[in-house]
Amino acid sequence: MVVRLSGTQPQGPKQLETLENKTVDGTQNTVRVNRGTTANRPIGPVIGDLYYNTELKDLEQYTEDGWMLVAKQVPRVPAIGSATLDGSNNASVSFTPSAYGQPASSYTVQSNPGSFTATGSSSPISISGSNLEVGTPYTFRVRSVGSYGQSAYSAYTSSVTPITMGSYESIQTVTVGAGGSSSINFTSIPLTYTHLQIRVISRGAQVATNFMRFNGDTNSNYSSHYMFGDGTYVNSGTLNSDKMYAFFSTTVGGFFGGAIIDILDYANTNKYKTIRSLSGGDENAAGYAEFLSGSWRNTNAITSITLVPGSGNIAEYSRFALYGIKGA
C-alpha cells in the first residue's frame, strides 16, 4: 500500500477525521490523514490511527504505547515481571517483551535507588550484587532498545532488599550483671553452622585461668596448650584435665581482657573437637597476649558450652557473644 499524505492543518486539538480511502490507478489505495504539530495531535485517538507530525516530518501511528513514528518506530515497552536476589545478592529481573511493534535488540534494566543498569538480550537480566547496598530496598524497571531508539521504561518491580549473607550470625549474648557470675552457659546451640566463635571481653579474679567445657562433660577428656608473652618473657604450658584453657582475662578494675575463641567443626560427629583462641589484656603495667589450642576427645556434636573462671566470679560488664559461621 502506498501512503500519500495530504490534508489540511487542524485548528487545535480535535477528533481524528475519518480517513479517506480511495482507489487510484486501479491498484493502489490513497489514505489521507490529518497533519499538524505534536501539540495538535488528535484527541481521543484509537490504536491504529495515523497522523503526520509536521514537526518531526514523519508519519506517526497511535499504539498501546502512545503516538510512535511508523517508519522509525522504537520497540514497545516490555511488561515488567519480578525481581529476585540470589545467594550473592545479585538481582535477577524478569520481564516479558512486547508482542507488538518493532523488535528489540536488547533490554536495559535500571535500579532504584542507584540507577545501576545492566543490559541483556532476553529475560531475565541480572544486576551485580556488588552494586547494591545491604539493607536498602531496591525496585527495578526495564526498557527495550531497538535500531531507532529505546522505549520508555516499564513500571517498577516490587522491592527486594539485599541482606548480609548468612556466613556469620549472632546466636546468643550473655552480659554479666551486678555481682558477677560464676559461669557462662550457652545451651541448645543449633547444629546448623560449621564453626562457632565466642567473642569476649571479661575481667575476673585470676588471670589466664578461664576454662571451657562442652556438653556438660566433667571427665578428663580435655587437653590444651598455651603460649603467652607478658611484656618481659614468653612461656608455654599444657593442661590435661577435666576442662581446657580457654582465654585470658584481666583482674584490675576498669580493665577488661579480650578473647576470640574459635570452636571448629563443632557439629561433626566423626572428629574430636578442636578450639583455638587469641586472647589478652593489658593493665598498663601488667598483662598478657596469648595463643592457645585445645581438644575435647569426644565425637559428639557440641550443643552446650560452659565457661568458668579459675576462681571467684566473672566481673560485671563482662560480655560473651556466641556466633555461628557457615561454610560454603
Partner 1 sequence: MALTYEKIQTTTLSSAQASVTFSSIPATYTDLVLITNGKMVSSENALGVRLNGDTGSNYSSVAFYGTGASPGSSLRFNNGVEMYVARMGASTNCTSIIHLLDYSNTTTYKTALSRGSSSSIIMTTANTWRSTAAVNSVLVRGFSLFSDFASGCTFTLYGIKAA
DSSP-derived secondary structure letter, 122: S
Count CA within 13 A, CB hemisphere, residue 189. 30
Does 204 bind partner 1 (CB under 8 A)? Our answer is no
Our CB check for partner 1 shows the closer of 171 and 239 to be 171
Does 282 bind partner 1 (CB under 8 A)? Our answer is yes
Does 257 bind partner 1 (CB under 8 A)? Our answer is yes
The single residue among 232, 270, 327, 328 that binds partner 1, judged by CB under 8 A, is 232
Does 254 bind partner 1 (CB under 8 A)? Our answer is yes
Give the x/- contact pattern for partner 1 in 131-170, rule: CB under 8 A.
---xx---------------------------xx-xxxxx
Residues in contact with 252: Cβ distance below 8 Å, sequence separation at least 6, in sequence order: 203, 283, 286
Distances (CA, A) of 323 to 13, 189, 234, 307: 69, 10, 31, 15
The single residue among 70, 85, 260, 264 that binds partner 1, judged by CB under 8 A, is 260
Count CA within 13 A, CB hemisphere, residue 269. 3
Q: Among residue numbers 173 through 192, which ones bind partner 1 (CB under 8 A)?
A: 173
Stretch touching partner 1 by CB under 8 A, among 6-14, 141-149, 198-206, 303-311: 198-206
Our CB check for partner 1 shows the closer of 171 and 301 to be 171
Phi, psi of 200 (to 5 degrees): -130, 140
Our CB check for partner 1 shows the closer of 116 and 317 to be 317
In the sheet that holds 125-127, the strands lie side by side as 79-85, 91-96, 125-127
Residues in contact with 169: Cβ distance below 8 Å, sequence separation at least 6, in sequence order: 193, 323, 324, 325, 326
* Pairing label, strands 139-146, 106-112: antiparallel
- Cβ of residue 316: shortest distance to partner 1, in angstroms? 9
- Cβ of residue 94: shortest distance to partner 1, in angstroms? 24
* Pairing label, strands 50-53, 35-36: parallel
CA distance 1 to 8: 22
Does 228 bind partner 1 (CB under 8 A)? Our answer is yes
Give the x/- contact pattern for partner 1 in 306-325, rule: CB under 8 A.
-----------x-x-x-x--
Contact residues: partner 1, CB under 8 A = 134-135, 163-164, 166-173, 199-201, 227-234, 236, 248, 254-260, 278-285, 287-291, 317, 319, 321, 323
